[in-house]
Amino acid sequence: MTTVSRRAVLAAIAAACALPALPALAADTIKIGLVTALSGQSARAGEALTRGMTIAIDEINAKGGLLGGRKLELVRRDDEGNPAKGVLAARELIYKEKVAVLFGGLDTPVSMAIVPIANQEKVPFMGPWAAGTPITRNGANPNYAFRVSAVDEVVDKAMLQYAQKSFNASKPGLILVNNPWGESNEKGIVAALAAKGMKPAGVEKFEANDVDVVPQLGRLKAAGADVLFMVGNVGPSAQVVKSLDRMGWKVPVVSHWGPAGGRFTELAGANARNVHFVQTYSFFGTPTPVSTRVVAELKAKYSDIKGPDDITPAVGVANAYDATQLAALAIARAGSTKGDAVREGFYKIDRYEGLIKTYVKPFTPEVHDALSENDYVWAQFVDNRIVPVAK
């Protein structure tokens, strides 16, 4: 009996020492979720978001992690650009993976479907791409949606500001894709013009599959438009440029960031470079200590990246990198991974020297978008590279 008792005691001691190790290891990880398109036409952009987040997480973990040594872990799910699939993915990350912060991906409709769940479950949502104004301005109180990206309403103000500064424009004509994105920007541009006592020379729409936009452009030319504000993705925007070529109308074109998403130069031809479009960041231009470090880390981690040309889309990498660093600061300021504490933590960020800019109090209870119209970079295509417009 004595031998059995001794063995039982030793076994019990061993079990007591061994068992707590498993939950302790599990508790060490702080999970950050990402719902984005990882397949299909937008897979490259989803990969850019992944890479930006991964580089930031690697940096944070190399410095010892958060909350006394807990490491960050990225957990991804593919939404295929589908709101219903995005909702399922978000629910899995919130309920099963118990992510501390949920990052939404590329598409405004997907993000719009996820944000109400994040607000209901009190899980901070971070948008590193989708530009739809109502993602962050969603009417919820408290509001758990934050963003480091372009915002349609702000882009519209920036387009007017840039057109006046660069082209001395006074009669802008609007050429917009005929869908909810075009409608959203029509409202924003008209409001931006009205705020300066201006009206558009005209508003014209085109379908996503149109191959000739000459009639619409002809009406804008006849109305005296001295600049075009364009909203459309790669294919439709290319057709606008080709129609301008057929007309022989050399008018400045100031665009939302739609042309940056793919084969614009191939589809639009030589005059693609005449389109100036908004970006939140470019790796070309004067390097900063942060950009130098991030480029080096990207080159070391991903064999296909040899230099800035290969970091594409740059806005995905840059937005996701800064957004992840800011989310980590919010967790650190909160001293917790609890949703409401992290939401408050975003408001406690004083200063962060980021890739896009140095952020000073980037979030307040009233403002959940960290970038303004003054933070955008105006770019154009030169030899298939997206580069800042020469000043």
CATH of the domain at 177: 3.40.50.2300
Instruction: Judge whether 130 lies within some domain.
Output: yes
C-alpha neighbours within 13 Å on the C-beta side of residue 167 = 22
Same domain flag for 168 and 233: yes
Same domain flag for 52 and 65: yes
Amino acid at 205: K
Secondary structure (DSSP) of 313-365: SHHHHHHHHHHHHHHHHHHHHHTS--HHHHHHHHHT--EEE-SS-EEES---S
Same domain flag for 163 and 124: no
What is the per-residue pLDDT for 391?
64
pTM of the model: 0.82
Instruction: Judge whether 238 lies within some domain.
Output: yes
Instruction: Judge whether 229 lies within some domain.
Output: yes
Instruction: Judge whether 170 lies within some domain.
Output: yes
Q: What are phi and psi of 274, to 5 degrees?
A: -80, -10
Q: Where a domain ends, among 245, 279, 313?
A: 279
Sign of the torsion angle spanned by Cα atoms 249, 250, 253, 259: positive
Q: Where a domain ends, among 237, 263, 279?
A: 279
Amino acid at 230: M
Instruction: Judge whether 384 lies within some domain.
Output: no
Q: Which of 353, 327, 315, 330 is nearest to 33 (CA)?
A: 327
Same domain flag for 106 and 188: no
Same domain flag for 221 and 145: no
Q: What total of structural domains would you count in the chain?
A: 2
What is the per-residue pLDDT for 285?
75
Same domain flag for 167 and 118: no
Same domain flag for 56 and 124: yes
What is the per-residue pLDDT for 182?
86
Instruction: Judge whether 17 lies within some domain.
Output: no
pLDDT in tens, the chain (391 residues): 444 455 554 454 454 444 444 444 445 899 999 999 998 767 888 999 999 999 999 999 999 999 999 999 999 999 998 899 999 999 999 999 999 999 997 888 899 999 999 999 999 999 999 888 899 999 999 999 999 999 999 999 999 999 999 999 999 999 998 887 888 899 999 999 999 999 999 999 999 889 899 999 999 999 999 999 999 888 889 999 999 999 999 999 999 988 876 678 888 988 999 999 999 998 987 899 999 999 999 999 999 999 988 888 899 999 999 999 999 999 999 999 999 999 999 999 999 999 999 999 999 999 999 998 788 889 998 877 788 887 6
Instruction: Judge whether 103 lies within some domain.
Output: yes
Same domain flag for 212 and 122: no
Q: Which residues contact 75 (CB under 8 A, 6 or more apart)?
A: 31, 32, 33, 34, 93, 97, 99
Structural domain that includes position 304 = 25-150+287-372
Same domain flag for 299 and 261: no
Q: Where a domain ends, among 279, 306, 324?
A: 279
What is the per-residue pLDDT for 18?
47
Beta-sheet strands, E only, within 79-215: 101-104, 125-127, 145-147, 172-177, 202-206
Instruction: Judge whether 16 lies within some domain.
Output: no
Same domain flag for 113 and 209: no
Same domain flag for 162 and 258: yes
DSSP letter at 389?
Answer: P
Same domain flag for 291 and 257: no
